[in-house]
A and B are shown apart, each in its own frame.
Chain A
Amino acid sequence: MATLVRTMLPTLWSDPFASDWTRSLVRDVDRAFQEMDALMERFFDWARPAWMPSVEVFDTDTEYIIRAELPGFRKEDVRVTLVGDQLTLEGERKPDSRFEQARVHRAERWYGTFRRTFVLPFTPGDSPVEARFKNGVLTISIAKPEAQKPRHIAIK
């Protein structure tokens, strides 16, 4: 944005006959925009999400299933935490150190940490919760408490 102001005011910026007052005004405006730029940059940096693994949620009659794609992760790299009705997945994928020195031709895969929280439609309490990890897919099955299971009503 500061660049924009400078291109918008080229004559004032370079005019040797502009008064000191005009020049100082232009400088102030320019500085204000520069500060705004920095602020916006910081805001967007903060607002930009880290990568998020793809997740699929299935609501079956007996279970609530959360399935996350975590290719290249091992069991030890992922943590699953349940607090009340909130289930959090977090983990980290590190780049392969064997290719640190290599020339990169394509880089489409993501690396780094992620954290994703799901609010369940019920509080599992003592219901069995099972997490399985296979071929880079994490599947968490949360058994529904009796009260959450659908009841079929007979029509008289």
Chain B
Amino acid sequence: MTKVIRKDGQLVEATDVQYRVITPAVDVYELEDAYVALFDLPGVEKSQLQLRLEENRLSLEAQVEDPLLEQHRGYTGYRYERMFVLGDDVDPNQVEAELRDGVLMLRIGKREQLKPRTIEIK
């Protein structure tokens, strides 16, 4: 990949220069049986969003081409990037994602044995 020098003097890959990189804001809530994360991703379509789970690392990436930014600001578009390390109490097999109106809702279930249980008294 071509290396170029950015205005601040840093040596970066050419592709990094063309996209405005944004760390999306997130809210994380804990429910009884799951964690829910809400990410602000304005402008993102389902097809542009990539969620990857590797071991306990969850990464989010979304790249949006933006003709207006390209014409007027010199960027090809913008890219959202964020990574999370999941705790031991979540079950990586129970991840649900829903993108609506520029907000991603991620629901990650808790491990079975960690859910609060009511013990019946005999």
Contact with B along A97-111 (1 / 0, CB 8 A): 001001111111110
Check: B106 CB closer than 8 A to any chain A CB. Answer: no
> Which DSSP category, helix, strand, loop or mixed, fits chain B's interface?
mixed
Partner of B40, one of A56, A72, A106, A107: A72
Whether A109 contacts B68 in the complex (CB less than 8 A), given A73-B101, A135-B102, A136-B101, comes out as no
Chain A proximity of B23: nearest CB distance (Å): 9
Number of A-B contacts (CB under 8 A): 78
A-facing mask of B1-35, CB < 8 A → 1, else 0?
00000000000000000000000011111110001
Query: Which residues from chain A sit less than 8 Å from chain B, CB to CB?
Result: 56, 58-60, 65, 67, 69-74, 96, 99, 102-110, 135-137
Cross-chain pairs A/B with CB under 8 angstroms, 15 sampled: A60-B71, A65-B68, A67-B68, A69-B102, A71-B40, A71-B103, A72-B38, A72-B40, A72-B102, A99-B31, A99-B36, A105-B28, A105-B30, A136-B40, A136-B43
Closest 6 CB pairs of A and B: A136-B102, A71-B102, A102-B29, A69-B42, A108-B25, A136-B42
